[in-house]
Amino acid sequence: MARAYDNWERLVRATLRREQRRHPGKGHERTTSGIAGAVPDSLQRTTNINLILQAADEIQSEDPNVARILCEQAYSMAQNLDPNSDGRGVLQFKTGLMSVIKQKLAKRDGARIDRNRDAERLWEFYQQYKRRHRVDDIQREEQRLRESGTFSANMGDLDRRYLEMEMRNVFATLRALVEVMEALSKDVALDGVGQLIMEELRKIKKSDAPLAGELTSYNIVPLEASSLTNAIGFFPEVRGAISAIRYTEQFPRLPTPFEISGQRDMDMFDLLEYVFGFQKDNIRNQRENVVLTIANAQSRLGIPVEADPKIDEKAITEVFLKVLDNYIKWCRYLRIRLVWNSLEAINRDRKLFLVSLYFLIWGEAANVRFLPECICYIFHHMARELDAILDHGEANRAPSCISKNGSVSYLEQIICPIYETISAEAAINNNGKAAHSAWRNYDDFNEYFWSPACFELNWPMKKDSSFLLKPKKSQRTGKSTFVEHRTYLHLYRSFHRMWVFLIVMFQVLTIIAFNDGKINRNTFITILSIGPTFAILNFLESCLDVLLMFGAYSSARAMAISRLVIRFFWGCLTSLFVTYVYVKVLQERSRSTSDSFYFRIYILVLGVYAALRLVFAILLKLPACHALSEVSDQSFFQFFKWIYQERYFVGRGLYERTSDYIRYVFYWLVIFGCKFSFAYFLMIQPLVDPTNTIANLPALPYSWHDLFSKNNNNILTIVSLWAPVVAIYLMDIHIFYTILSAVVGGVTGARARLGEIRSIEMLHKRFESFPEAFVNNLVSSPTKRIPFNRQSSQSSQDTNTTLAAIFSPFWNEIIKSLREEDYISNREMDLLSMPSNAGSLRLVQWPLFLLSSKILLAIDLALDCKDTQSDLWSRICRDEYMAYAVKECYYSAEKILLSLVDGEGRLWVERIFREINSSILENSLVITLTLKKLPAVLQKFTALTGLLMRDDPELAKGAAKATYELYEVVTHDLLSSDLREQLDTWHILARARNEGRLFSRIEWPKDPEIKEQVKRLHLFLTVKDSAANIPKNLEARRRLEFFSNSLFMDMPPARPVFEMMPFSVFTPYYSETVLYSSSELVAENEDGISIIFYLQKIFPDEWANLLERIGRPDAGEVELQENPTDSLELRFWASYRGQTLARTVRGMMYYRRALMLQSYLERRSLGEDEYSQMNCLTTQGFELSHEARAQADLKFTYVVSCQIYGQQKQQKRPEAADIALLLQRNEALRVAFIHVEESGAADGKVAKQFYSKLVKADVHGKDQEIYSIKLPGDPKLGEGKPENQNHAIVFTRGEAVQTIDMNQIRVENGGSALHLKELDNYLEEAMKMRNLLDEFRGNHGLRSPTILGVREHVFTGSVSSLAWFMSNQETSFVTLGQRVLAKPLKNCVGQEGWAKSRSVSWILWWLLHRASFPFGWKEISSLFTFGFLLVHGDQANM
């Protein structure tokens, strides 16, 4: 047995060493050195064993005896939780932990252990640990801040002293010590140490100390306990939202034994948990969701300023109406009464109760979330139960959620029966291969609730209802409204109106052509043959409706079946009648009589029918008439609408403004006009004479095919002649649509100012206008009001300088991100960076890449100058950036020299520049200065700045000597003879020169502004590269061109961050590559090529930039692999250039970085009115700002749904370790996954329980479970991706969700909506997110848009010719085609790979509302992967 222990110990240690090698990195990313990482999930769910073992590892070196106590307690907890070791991995864990304990005991060399003193030892160590880390000081500081109600900007200093990441580790250790002390205190006498421990525990539980707050697991808002390092809880709108849901005396009393989790006040969710039996983690999840929802709604209306902030009634109502919008529509559709009488009749508390109830129902519904109207049905009845309970003084359990054994559970009683029925239906679909008519899918279950008959299900739901009937061989429930049969007949049925239109028009054009284009009575009567054609084709469609409805007759509504029957018989009668009358009309024409009775009847019938269809079509396109028909109960409206189309819950209200409809009609009229003109003049008319000739040919002798051509006017030949024409006629409409789309899309793009900057040269020319465009479009009003340094001269307040000062920090962060991504080098970053423009320099300072070599060119012009000063300046000003360079060089030289010298030297500098300024004003500069000597002056000044750049005060003597040499050259070479003589005879200067005091000592630059100007001026004078070569990287150029081009587009104005729409990003992941491993990078394929070798060859400049960034310019991949830190950098560098999850996560986290930057510059402070003037324009440290981080977290959430992450962790797969590494490096990243727990059943079978979990990285870099919501069963009933996303969607936040597939590409900016990035993202594009989200509130018609479609950038377009073709096809299809679909067509078409936005109306409400599309669940699942939807209305816009 001892050998088994030893083997297990070695296995554990080896595994941990591999994890350590896989997780090397920054200091705060700590990994455990013991067995803590091997705790099974079944033990972690209800205990803190992992935290205790991590604390034992932490204090092992300080006190091994205390570490032993913690390990023994962890073993006891594991034994009590699972005494038989039935859970997966529990037995192995216990064995390994026991071996670790024995090893710790063995190190005591046989010394006796007195376990009766364990509590005393632990108490002593606890007190020492608190004193050593000054925990009490932190508690007092937090109490002071909480009492003041502010989160001061000075908190940054405190946090740097105490609460950096190492301090979080201290709190984690303290929490583990407290938990073990509490367990040990139960066996200790209540005197002495036992009494001290109990008093300490009571103190901790009563106070909101950091010990409880910092380590209580939470997602975004620490609701269970306050946190000193998370400023979000100090925001007035958040505090007001928490206060809004707080329990009051007016609510029913809860029983005394009911426990409140955490250190918070009782609230509405506690009552809902008690009444309906919702899961605790569902309660915690939706509590935070409701708080954030209310807080964000309030922030748009205004930030509360009172000490005890209150939420505006308008914000509560807005949330209420938005969340319950689909329920309200559902009740109106079924014409049933809402659970409230009127909006004015319910107070704000009832509104919040209903909103919270809806969220809780939805959050625990699992697969039932795919049935949005079923959710409405459940809410309708549970809200009535809640309403009755709220009217009583005592809280009672809801009857619908009480089981037979007396327990209360919403999941077991409401969701599980529905889930089991859906699961049974899915089990017979043969993995999706069975006919759709043979089983019920999500749509069929949901459509059951589109009829008042759904209330036959009763409440509580009847178990024997047909809705809950499980399929059997002899009996099953049929479809509700629609049956999808796999048949080619759908080619006609689905597009019958198009077929009817094309056939009828072809018939008309052919008749006209064969009558030589003459419209007379006979031709008109022949054209009227379209009547029978139209009637028969419609009758055929009615027949197909009857045929393809087979399978739903037993369960469909009677009105739906009667409509089919009526339409069938009506179509039959009308086709017979119209055909009969038309035959009589032909007979009248053949008799050539004056009797036209049947002709008049025929004309009357067709005229009345056409007039009615036209009138109703026009009326339905008028918003007022359409809205009236929607709400009217008049039989007149309802009958005609019922005949025209079956009444469904979805697809209602699809109408637009009259002007939009006119544009839509005009667009198609142009297409049809071109198509039919082309068809008539170039296709049909030329075939008339050949057809007549062939038909009139005499009988020709054939040897073998008389069967086809004998006595039939050569019909086979005629068919062969017309067949290609007919085929082209049916298809060429798409050609004309494509042509017109290209024209309209191009014109629209030109009007939207797309493509103004198409090259790096154009970027250089237009850069001067970038600050104004950026500030106008992408900067909010608070940032525009940033105060500038008041010590600046008056000229620095010029508008251009102000705009440049606001633009520069954003631009510099963009350039910094390009350097971090290794697209540019350090030197290019210096040349591309823009000065702050907040100093005293009297002009705009542009990036050096615009001004490089301009000084040298200006000197060449000066050397060749033979004219006046005005002529010279005129030639310089032809290049505006050369003029900027000359001015900046002159002013910078003056400022630098004045900062270096004092006394007589300063007098000389002031005299020189005063004389030069005077000569400039007198237009005599070429006389005052000897321009031929400028190169010598340039050489001396370059030598001086070169010394000053080295930032070494020991070089002061050399700098003084260089200054004196500059003085000699300027005085004796550059200046004119008259001025030279004046300076030589200047008594003060001559005496200082004779005594050796002139420039003998200089003041070494200490001012950061002077240092920056020295560095910049030196680059001015030395850089000779052309601006066309900066940056060299093509990807960097493309990004800068794209970003600069988008600045001039029309877009919504940028709101302040606290007013913007909150959103989430959602990435589904299964088992794709997360991060390339070192072995994968060097593994060679069959051609002997490795990934790293290939990347080095196609990205040589980026490889050189990587080596420069990590300080290994001459290293190769082999040398990098030897260093753990460099090896990790190499893995990330390669992964960022492939389709990996790491690349997606990095790109999406740019949203948070952009929001932090924008929020930081907007200067939202808690406790202080203004920031210091010196820091008003700097972005240094913005990522460490607590307020900026909290504001970003309030508006942005990123969830990666890793479906099998739990299995990967259990199997020790490298993907799990890589995902954990991403969690460590991104504090705002959340990972959701499906956890499976297996346990033995009584019948010997293995029972499985499924949980939806959300985790983040804790202070030790390990997974910290935030929520664990039990599911009714296996969530994967249908397609994997939508089910994977569905279980995790409850963890997203905000009104909009962007779903990003990691196997897709990027998003940029095009059209009036903005580009985001799929698979990847860029910081410069993330800065536009506020503008994009505001498109949802824009005026785009009768309703706000629900979908924003954008183009993709296919970054693999240069790999091959096929990739290049597909890349251009993507650009043309999306950029032009989708632009036309958005306007004038106002349409939406789904395509895999588009990045779209969808508003879930506060978390996937589009899926619940189903927007306005009659899609099946598979279509919805596909749209699930696309992007941004917003449920402000029923119409989709793009």
The pLDDT tens digits for 837-886 are 877 777 888 888 888 888 888 888 888 877 787 888 888 888 888 888 88
What is the rounded average pLDDT of the residues 1382-1387? 78
Please check the confidence at residue 981 and state whether its pLDDT lies above 90: no
Confidence of residue 1306 (pLDDT cuts 50, 70, 90): very low
Confidence of residue 745 (pLDDT cuts 50, 70, 90): confident
Please check the confidence at residue 459 and state whether its pLDDT lies above 50: yes
pLDDT of residue 1240: 64
Between CA 517 and CA 225 the distance in angstroms is 86
The proportion of the chain whose per-residue pLDDT surpasses 70, expressed as a percent, equals 77
Please check the confidence at residue 1105 and state whether its pLDDT lies above 90: yes
Please check the confidence at residue 1411 and state whether its pLDDT lies above 50: no
Q: Three-class SS of residue 1172?
A: coil
pLDDT of residue 517: 82
pTM, two decimals, is: 0.84
pLDDT of residue 888: 84
60-75 pLDDT, tens per residue?
Answer: 777 777 777 778 777 7
Q: Which of 651-655, 1081-1085, 1356-1360 has the largest mean confidence?
A: 1081-1085
The single residue listed with the structure tokens 């992007």 is 1427
Q: For the chain, how many residues are written?
A: 1438
Please check the confidence at residue 222 and state whether its pLDDT lies above 60: yes
Q: Could you tell me which residues are beta bridge partners of residue 1068?
A: 1201
What is the rounded average pLDDT of the residues 1162-1181? 55
What is the rounded average pLDDT of the residues 937-943? 85
Amino acid at 1038: R
Q: Which of 132-146, 920-934, 1347-1361, 1376-1390 has the largest mean confidence?
A: 920-934
Least confident interval from 489-493, 822-826, 1150-1154: 489-493
Please check the confidence at residue 1399 and state whether its pLDDT lies above 60: no
- Mean pLDDT (the chain) is 78
Instruction: For the chain, report the end-to-end CA distance as a whole number of angstroms.
Output: 68
Please check the confidence at residue 207 and state whether its pLDDT lies above 90: no
Between CA 289 and CA 301 the distance in angstroms is 19
Q: Which of 87-96, 593-602, 1207-1216, 1377-1386 has the largest mean confidence?
A: 1207-1216
Q: Which of 415-419, 705-709, 713-717, 1137-1141 has the largest mean confidence?
A: 415-419
pLDDT of residue 159: 44
pLDDT of residue 294: 95
Least confident interval from 521-535, 648-662, 986-1000: 986-1000
Nearest to 1270 by CA among 299, 277, 159: 277
Any idea what the Cα angle at residue 1156 is, between residues 1154 and 1158, rounded to 5°?
Answer: 70
Token pair for 1145: 């996560």
pLDDT of residue 790: 40
Amino acid at 757: I
pLDDT of residue 1405: 28
Please check the confidence at residue 1288 and state whether its pLDDT lies above 50: yes
Confidence of residue 368 (pLDDT cuts 50, 70, 90): very high
Torsion of CA 642, 646, 651, 654, to 10 degrees: -30
Please check the confidence at residue 407 and state whether its pLDDT lies above 70: yes
Q: Which of 158-172, 408-422, 767-781, 1235-1249 has the largest mean confidence?
A: 408-422
More confident residue, 411 or 127: 411
The single residue listed with the structure tokens 């589904």 is 1068
Q: Could you tell me which residues are beta bridge partners of residue 1297?
A: 1064, 1398
Q: Which of 630-639, 884-893, 967-976, 1395-1404 has the largest mean confidence?
A: 884-893
Amino acid at 1335: E
Confidence of residue 293 (pLDDT cuts 50, 70, 90): very high
What is the rounded average pLDDT of the residues 1054-1072? 90
What is the rounded average pLDDT of the residues 755-771? 84
Least confident interval from 214-223, 973-982, 1281-1290, 1316-1325: 1316-1325
pLDDT of residue 1172: 41
Nearest to 1300 by CA among 1208, 1404, 1377, 1201: 1201
Side-chain half-sphere of 401: how many Cα atoms within 13 Å?
24
Between CA 576 and CA 320 the distance in angstroms is 55
The proportion of the chain whose per-residue pLDDT surpasses 90, expressed as a percent, equals 22
pLDDT of residue 796: 43
Other Cβ atoms closer than 10 A to 81: 15
Least confident interval from 677-691, 721-735, 787-801, 1265-1279: 787-801
pLDDT of residue 1395: 29
More confident residue, 618 or 1015: 1015
